[in-house]
Structure 1
Amino acid sequence: MLLAISFTSCNSLKKVEKDEYLVVKNTILVDSAKVKNEDVHSLIYQKTNTALLGYPLRLNLYNLAKENPDSLYQAWLNEKPNRKKRLTNILSEKQVDRLGESFLVKGLSVWLKDIGEAPVILDTTQTRRSLERLSAFYNSKGYFNNSTTYTIDSTSQKGKAGVDYVISLGKPYMIDSLSNDISSKAIDSLYFLNAGESLIKRGDQFDLNNFTLERERLTTIFRNNGIRNFQESSITFDIERDTVKAADDQKMNINLNIGDLRRRGENQVTTSEYKVERINKIKVFTNFLSTTNNAPLDSVIYKDLTIYYSGKFKIKPKTLDDAIFFEKDSVYRDLDKIRSSRQLNSLNIFKYPNIIFEEDSTQNQVNTNIYLAPKPKYSLGTNFEVSRSNLRRIGVGMGASLLIRNIFKGAENLSISADGTFGLLSTEIFQDEFFSEIGGDISLDFPRIWFPFINTSNIIPNYTLPKTRIAIGTSFQKNIGLDKQTFNTILGYNWSPDDFKKHAVELLNIQFVRNVNRNRFFSVYRNTYEQLDEIADAYDGYLDPNDPGDSSQTFPELASFFETVEGTDNPRLIVPDDNPDTPEGTTQFTEAILNGTVSPIFSDDTRQVSRIEERRQRLTENNLIFTTNYTFNKNNRNGILDNNFYQFRFKIESAGNLLSGFSNLVPFNENEDGQLLVFNVPFSQYIKTEFDYVKYWDLSRSNVLAARSFFGIAIPYGNSNNIPFVRSYFAGGSNDNRAWFPYSLGPGRTSALNDFNEANLKLALNLEYRFPLFGDLNGAIFADAGNIWNVFDDVENEDATFNGLESLKDIALGSGFGLRYDFTYFLFRLDLGFKTYNPAEIPSKRWFRDYNFANSVLQIGINYPF
């Protein structure tokens, strides 16, 4: 298909008749200035065919389709007298007829037309309609005397035409005076109290959009100050402009009219004056839509609420009172209705919350009826997955979760989940064939901020959807890496003042990680083993005192550390296993070098072995991480279709300070390095902060430009001189720098030193241009920059550390393209990344050294990377 498209790309006029023109360009000139605003260009009826980087892909796909495949097939079939007869003898007459409906004969052309795009043929009727829309648009901006015309350029390219829409604006009309005519005294008072914030001001240029926004503003004010039934249609504007006066005196007078409430009956329309209403009775029906609707209702009164129920009363009245923001005798507010609906939904124990208002017989009062339908008390969920990776030949995962709603009658929801994964390991990496991983979690959510002895509702109001979560979980791995066992518990809070902001605090986040098989380190981290074995290669020639090689110095005491590998000449260091009789070759060799047991030691070996040993200890030591953190999220996105927005996330985390402070009161044990121990494990102490900013620009016709910037740093201090592996940063992967695999980029200008490269400082910058291809298939072109570094920790390798602004030259750059298929509920993504700038190479070979398909990286992901 790509070859066919390339052959036809030069013939975009294939389906344009001789007396027709293909529209290839639209230009809008306003007072001789070219307008690029997409909102203005959207007013044009005949838009040019869509293009991918200037190439009309969909048009050329459409041109590949045969115009009349049925007729062409019949002509081909009857072109030779015996062709149809021969085919009938082979296939049968019915099959020959059905061949004309096959995909290759007809279906391909139909498919190409569906995913393609017909040529946009110039139609002057549509051009004139576009002029009328442009004129109306500039009328709405106050240019009532604008004049429009168009010109067609059909001489530059044969069979193609460009249309110039030429608009002369003239002088705009300005608002000269403002007056008002308001029927209701209540509304009149509210209007003048808020008139200072009006969007329509004397001396401003006329803009119809401001009048629309002003109507919305006033409606919101009135409906939040007791005018429950106020209708936006009651607001009108009389606009008077003098078209006779001289052109330099283009002014207009504005009169605001706010009429009475209009009610439509069966055969007539009545009006009544708008009045301020107050809340009278508040009734809550907790068993609405229940199967026992005919059962007698009991009631209980709590503060301003009268709560009706049938059977057992299953919820605490205070919980409902905290979720309902109407108060007796208070002025009606739309805001209270919105907040009540939002909070009742957030409780996750009711479905279809419905709030209905009824006028009370008492003047200017309204009764509130709230209907709630309870959700099932128990919900069971299951999941099943099949996975494969370079470490696992195949894995099968199963999980189940149970949700128990309203467990303590205060909208507390208890969730219990368990999951397990079992499968086969890669025998090239692991000695074991099978692996397993099982885990479970228990969490309790309740709709308030729980903090002992403090009434938090005065600080965090109930309308912000406050929630507290207490969770505890554990997992066990078998034959995976070092066979980790983890235990974690969380006490956290979150609240959302509105739909665009969210706060989250984890007062306690405790994670304990125990490595069961620490002696497996060199079996799992093969790159680190190869580094150590390469150092050991310098000593294996001096093991036998009867064969001293080039030196009289021999190290027979090292002989037991090595083993001969079949098919190789050089012995290799023995990796310890679970057998207590197996020599611990790697461990013994490391100790011999660091303790100076062998002499002389070749240059730089002590430093290199020391680094390897530090990494081994860090990745095999048990971790106790005792943190407190705060996260703030903000975005201004209005719905999933909004592609012109930003989102910002900030997080700060502190670990170990509480334990460090407690150690001043209660003495803790210490290890040989002076680290304080809790349960015989040194606790981590660090401060960590992150900034994440994403910006989307809606360009045109579903084309989107998206950018992301991320900065994170974690600084160890006190009881730690490095960051735990589980809290450090890595670079590469489907949501990061897509030209590198996860954990394979950095730190700094190092090149794949370890199997899992990580550090405590990260910078990431991403830019992606997204565009539609055809149907539900979209494309993207991207550039990813960034890296990780070590800073303020125990890593001394200058190639891996951040040493000021000069280290920014170690930022890696990857670029590439991708495909996305939209399944509505999720998006499946393929990205192909190329190493554009690789800081791990020598300076003269960093740019475009591996920029080819052989060294590209295919990333598979779900949904957009950011």
Structure 2
Amino acid sequence: MKKGLYCVISVLALLLSVSCSSTKYVPDGSYLLDEVSIHTDNKEVKPSSLSMYVRQNPNAKWFSLFKTQLYVYNWSGADSTRWINRVLRKVGDAPVIYRKEDADRTREEMTKAVQNMGYMGASVETECHVKKKKIRLVYNVATGKPYIVRTIRYDIPDDNIRNLMQLDSAGTYLSEGMRFDVNQLDAERQRITNNLLGNGYYKFNKDFLSYTADTARNTYLVDLTLHLLPYRQRGGTGSQQHRQYTIGKVGFVTDYNVLQSSANSIEVNDSLHYNGLSFYYKDKLYLRPQLLENNLHILPGDLYDERKVQRTYSNFGRLQALKYTNIRFVEEREDSTRLDAYIMLTKSKHKSVSFELEGTNSAGDLGAAAAVSFQHRNLFRGSEALMLRFRGAYEAISPLKSGYNQENYMELGAEATINFPRFMFPFLSRDFRRTIRATTEFGLQYNYQMRPEFTRIVASGSWSYRWGMQRQRSQHRIDLLDINYLYMPWIDPAFREIYLDKEQNYILAYNYEDRFIVRSGYSYTYNSAGQALMNNALLGNSYSVRINIESAGSLLYGLAKLTGMKKNESGEYTLLNIPFAQYIKGDIDYAKNFVIDNRNSLAFHVGGGIAVPYGNASVVPFEKRYFSGGANSVRGWSVRELGPGSYVGDRNNFLNQSGDIKLDASVEYRTHLFWKLHGALFVDAGNIWTLHEYESQPGGQFKFNTFYKQIAVAYGMGIRLDLDFFVLRFDAGMKAINPVYESGRNRYPIVHPDFSRDFAFHFAVGYPF
């Protein structure tokens, strides 16, 4: 530990020494732009809203503290022919040299931005503080008194458009007494435009709306008028009223090559007509006409509606049999108000085979796994996606006690799922199924596990629905029926005698018996960022919420009570002589991301869950219990190494380190280092508890007067390799507060750290939250 401390001190000393020479490559007569700050005299105008107008920023800082890349650049020598100097300059950042013209441009754009907020008399002054060869730049913003909208008038000569605007007036962004904010005025133009685009005005855009603003001298009051301009064709001189368009013919072109957009590139040699729609295709129509009609919201005779166009795009984007969709509108005649719509479809590759190889490491036992998958994305010409997957794994297990018949682990698995791009349920009307744009999934899984201690078979079947809303910000999933069957055909006699026949280890014994789990559930996920992602980095502040509720065994228990079903020796009702689990479980997780600047952000999350066994069970099945520690939990502990409560743990039985209640919280400071590498500093807290007191888990029961003393705390740092399509994460965590100990130096390893005892390393894919 002392050696590690010396290394940290040495690195800090090196960074300090380099920082003293941060102007090494700043030419004489020039200045290093050391810091830029914005000060405003109005709390309604926040500096963060003006930072985007800064044209020149200082060298980036790691964790908002150290200009590490500048220091790396300064390590390089003057001889650019040496490879080490070229590498250091490529990895590092050259010093940012202050340019007055950029500062003046920033001041001008910032002034205009504040004036657009309604502060027409705003001014921005620059203040420079020079120290040796460094300069600190301050932009001082004086907003002045805001202009206020006194009256609002509308100059709308078109009666139909005026009526549509009045019907939609409840959503207006304009009000008398508001600040004369140009951004709000522009948002109102776009809102009106969206409304008109949804009511047939195909050629309308916000440039046909304009404002005039009259101000009285020295009053800071504005009389605002919104004008509707007449329609003018591009290049034309005459003007006319805006026209509403209706949909004429609707056709599908199913073999469109998106890479060749000319009309001559469309290969068609056959067609058919179905319910007033036309279908043009080459050789064979690979999708059923009914499927295409069900996903279409642009219908002949309807007014043009931009919202229905986007909904049609969304629906066809869900079909895995298609790669691209493009919708074209053509006027029937130059003076006509009818639009013919053509939905151009590009076919995807319907069949594919993939192979996977992976290495495994379970508590030091190394192994390998391989899988092969086959996928058909258009099984019944309805964009049904069939997936077949076969997996095998082998692991060399550490030597066990004598008496076991073999010392290796093997696993064989098969999985089949089929996804239908529609809501499938009997007795539902066609209109309802068109409204609920859900996908239906059926699945079957089989898993065969052979260990030295036992052989286990897990078979399951599922029926679920999924759908998303509002540009994929909201995601819903309903598990209508999920049946799992756990079968233990063989258990080693020595393992049964030592671990299962002891009554005090009831949790272990319960989870090594044949059992049915018949469950239903609902999960909801909301991400405020939606699709606003770029290279896995959020473009702004965002948050996400995840809620999951599930219940198992309630219906079976009710049927057993009604039919007077007999119980087995353990007092459990059985289905086909197999007891079934009964529990209710709920989870909630909230995460928030604050963007500090374009290289730094602060993220935190808090979550919790509880699983309650009742009726036919006194224990929740292991697969549904909680565990703590690991890459996505309290990272000072390895996976399944923490809890429950103050329980010390048993390395020979990881099932004992599971619980019925879980609390988790994390704070993480994230920074972009260089290239595709990102860094993080984090603090985690949490634990798990049981609802009941078990002899095999002393100290694990949740109690209101003691649980807060049993919350574990860890801290650490991580490196993330962002490869755009996925993120590789390496986290190193240290224990800070260990709930195993009630007091003493061992309870607070943050004060008395022991690297071999308190350190945990984690490798994972993706961010922890």
TM-score, normalised to structure 1, is 0.80
Distance 1:501 1:806 in 2: 38
Task: Tell me by how many angstroms 1:148 deviates.
Answer: 3.1
**Is residue 822 from structure 1 mapped to residue 722 from structure 2 by the alignment?**
yes
One-letter identity of the residue aligned with 1:518: I
Aligned position for 2:660? 760
**Is residue 216 from structure 1 mapped to residue 119 from structure 2 by the alignment?**
no
Structure 1 residues 451 and 295 mapped into 2: Cα distance closer, same or farther (>3 Å)?
closer
Give yes or no for contact 2:644–2:697 (8 Å, CA) kept in 1. no
Superposed CA deviations along residues 208-255 of structure 1, whole A, max 9, x for unmatched, are 11122112211110100111121222222233445xx23xx1222323
Distance 1:32 1:374 in 2: 56
Distance 2:109 2:523 in 1: 47
SS in 1 for 2:744: helix
Give yes or no for contact 1:5–1:64 (8 Å, CA) kept in 2. no
Residue of 529, 535, 549 corresponding to 1:637:
529
Structure 1 residues 45 and 315 mapped into 2: Cα distance closer, same or farther (>3 Å)?
closer
One-letter identity of the residue aligned with 2:288: K
Give yes or no for contact 1:464–1:497 (8 Å, CA) kept in 2. no
Task: Tell me by how many angstroms 1:282 deviates.
Answer: 1.7
SS in 2 for 1:700: coil
Aligned position for 2:125? 149
Distance 1:145 1:32 in 2: 13
Moved more, 158-167 or 345-354: 158-167
**Is residue 359 from structure 1 mapped to residue 331 from structure 2 by the alignment?**
yes
Give yes or no for contact 1:733–1:740 (8 Å, CA) kept in 2. yes
Task: Tell me by how many angstroms 1:463 deviates.
Answer: 5.1
Gaps of 5+ in 1: 71-100, 521-574, 577-583, 592-608
Task: Tell me by how many angstroms 1:158 deviates.
Answer: 4.3
**Is residue 853 from structure 1 mapped to residue 750 from structure 2 by the alignment?**
no
Superposed CA deviations along residues 276-301 of structure 1, whole A, max 9, x for unmatched, are 12222222233445999766423132
Structure 1 residues 386 and 176 mapped into 2: Cα distance closer, same or farther (>3 Å)?
same
Aligned position for 2:224? 254
Moved more, 643-652 or 40-49: 40-49
**Is residue 493 from structure 1 mapped to residue 465 from structure 2 by the alignment?**
yes
Structure 1 residues 679 and 37 mapped into 2: Cα distance closer, same or farther (>3 Å)?
farther
One-letter identity of the residue aligned with 2:353: L
**Is residue 835 from structure 1 mapped to residue 738 from structure 2 by the alignment?**
no
Q: How does 1:202-601 map to 2 (within 5 A)?
A: 202-242=176-216, 245-246=217-218, 249-264=219-234, 271-289=239-257, 296-302=269-275, 304-361=276-333, 363-395=336-368, 397-427=369-399, 432-455=406-429, 457-458=431-432, 462=434, 464-479=436-451, 482-498=454-470, 499-519=472-492, 575=494, 586=498
**Is residue 31 from structure 1 mapped to residue 41 from structure 2 by the alignment?**
yes
Task: Tell me by how many angstroms 1:849 deviates.
Answer: 5.6
Task: Tell me by how many angstroms 1:43 deviates.
Answer: 2.3
Superposed CA deviations along residues 409-458 of structure 1, whole A, max 9, x for unmatched, are 33333222212223533346887354321111111211222222233853
SS in 2 for 1:119: coil
SS in 2 for 1:729: coil
Structure 1 residues 664 and 619 mapped into 2: Cα distance closer, same or farther (>3 Å)?
closer
Which one has the largest radius of gyration?
Answer: 1
Structure 1 residues 33 and 399 mapped into 2: Cα distance closer, same or farther (>3 Å)?
closer
Residue of 638, 648, 657 corresponding to 1:751:
648
Residue of 653, 661, 672 corresponding to 1:772:
672
Structure 1 residues 34 and 370 mapped into 2: Cα distance closer, same or farther (>3 Å)?
closer
Give yes or no for contact 1:240–1:254 (8 Å, CA) kept in 2. yes
Distance 1:585 1:384 in 2: 37
Distance 1:420 1:462 in 2: 41
SS in 2 for 1:817: strand
Give yes or no for contact 2:668–2:682 (8 Å, CA) kept in 1. yes
SS in 1 for 2:183: helix
SS in 2 for 1:132: helix
One-letter identity of the residue aligned with 1:327: L
Give yes or no for contact 2:400–2:407 (8 Å, CA) kept in 1. no
**Is residue 41 from structure 1 mapped to residue 9 from structure 2 by the alignment?**
no
Distance 1:45 1:293 in 2: 47
One-letter identity of the residue aligned with 1:354: N
Task: Tell me by how many angstroms 1:805 deviates.
Answer: 4.4
Give yes or no for contact 1:450–1:456 (8 Å, CA) kept in 2. no
Task: Tell me by how many angstroms 1:136 deviates.
Answer: 1.3
One-letter identity of the residue aligned with 2:504: R
One-letter identity of the residue aligned with 2:246: R
Give yes or no for contact 1:28–1:35 (8 Å, CA) kept in 2. no
Task: Tell me by how many angstroms 1:838 deviates.
Answer: 0.6
Structure 1 residues 146 and 477 mapped into 2: Cα distance closer, same or farther (>3 Å)?
same
Structure 1 residues 334 and 210 mapped into 2: Cα distance closer, same or farther (>3 Å)?
same
Give yes or no for contact 2:297–2:312 (8 Å, CA) kept in 1. yes
One-letter identity of the residue aligned with 2:491: R
Task: Tell me by how many angstroms 1:645 deviates.
Answer: 0.9
One-letter identity of the residue aligned with 2:767: Y
Task: Tell me by how many angstroms 1:312 deviates.
Answer: 4.7
Distance 1:296 1:50 in 2: 60
Task: Tell me by how many angstroms 1:647 deviates.
Answer: 1.0
Structure 1 residues 659 and 700 mapped into 2: Cα distance closer, same or farther (>3 Å)?
same
One-letter identity of the residue aligned with 1:634: Y
Give yes or no for contact 2:594–2:603 (8 Å, CA) kept in 1. yes
**Is residue 135 from structure 1 mapped to residue 111 from structure 2 by the alignment?**
yes
Give yes or no for contact 1:722–1:793 (8 Å, CA) kept in 2. no
Task: Tell me by how many angstroms 1:481 deviates.
Answer: 5.8
Distance 1:110 1:35 in 2: 44
Distance 1:277 1:506 in 2: 43
What RMSD, in angstroms, separates the aligned Cα atoms of the two structures? 2.8
Give yes or no for contact 1:300–1:306 (8 Å, CA) kept in 2. yes
Structure 1 residues 861 and 850 mapped into 2: Cα distance closer, same or farther (>3 Å)?
farther
One-letter identity of the residue aligned with 1:426: S
Task: Tell me by how many angstroms 1:669 deviates.
Answer: 4.3
Distance 1:506 1:224 in 2: 35
Superposed CA deviations along residues 625-663 of structure 1, whole A, max 9, x for unmatched, are 110101111121141133411111111111001211222
SS in 2 for 1:263: coil
**Is residue 782 from structure 1 mapped to residue 685 from structure 2 by the alignment?**
no
Distance 1:795 1:216 in 2: 66
Q: In percent, how many aligned pairs have the same letter? A: 26
**Is residue 61 from structure 1 mapped to residue 54 from structure 2 by the alignment?**
no
Task: Tell me by how many angstroms 1:49 deviates.
Answer: 2.7
Distance 1:733 1:237 in 2: 59
Moved more, 319-328 or 797-806: 797-806
Residue of 660, 667, 672 corresponding to 2:569:
672
Superposed CA deviations along residues 556-598 of structure 1, whole A, max 9, x for unmatched, are xxxxxxxxxxxxxxxxxxx45xxxxxxx8737xx97xxxxxxx
Distance 1:177 1:394 in 2: 75
Residue of 618, 622, 642 corresponding to 2:514:
622
Structure 1 residues 663 and 43 mapped into 2: Cα distance closer, same or farther (>3 Å)?
same
Distance 1:6 1:861 in 2: 33
Moved more, 132-141 or 807-816: 132-141
Structure 1 residues 377 and 49 mapped into 2: Cα distance closer, same or farther (>3 Å)?
closer
Distance 1:169 1:294 in 2: 62
Task: Tell me by how many angstroms 1:509 deviates.
Answer: 0.5
Structure 1 residues 793 and 624 mapped into 2: Cα distance closer, same or farther (>3 Å)?
farther
SS in 1 for 2:304: coil
Structure 1 residues 32 and 384 mapped into 2: Cα distance closer, same or farther (>3 Å)?
closer
SS in 1 for 2:388: strand
Give yes or no for contact 2:445–2:459 (8 Å, CA) kept in 1. yes
TM-score, normalised to structure 2, is 0.89
One-letter identity of the residue aligned with 1:25: E
Distance 2:450 2:661 in 1: 32
Give yes or no for contact 1:716–1:793 (8 Å, CA) kept in 2. no
Q: How does 1:690-729 map to 2 (within 5 A)?
A: 690-729=587-626
Distance 1:295 1:835 in 2: 67
Give yes or no for contact 2:360–2:367 (8 Å, CA) kept in 1. yes
Gaps of 5+ in 2: 1-9, 259-263
Aligned position for 2:6? none
Distance 1:615 1:650 in 2: 27
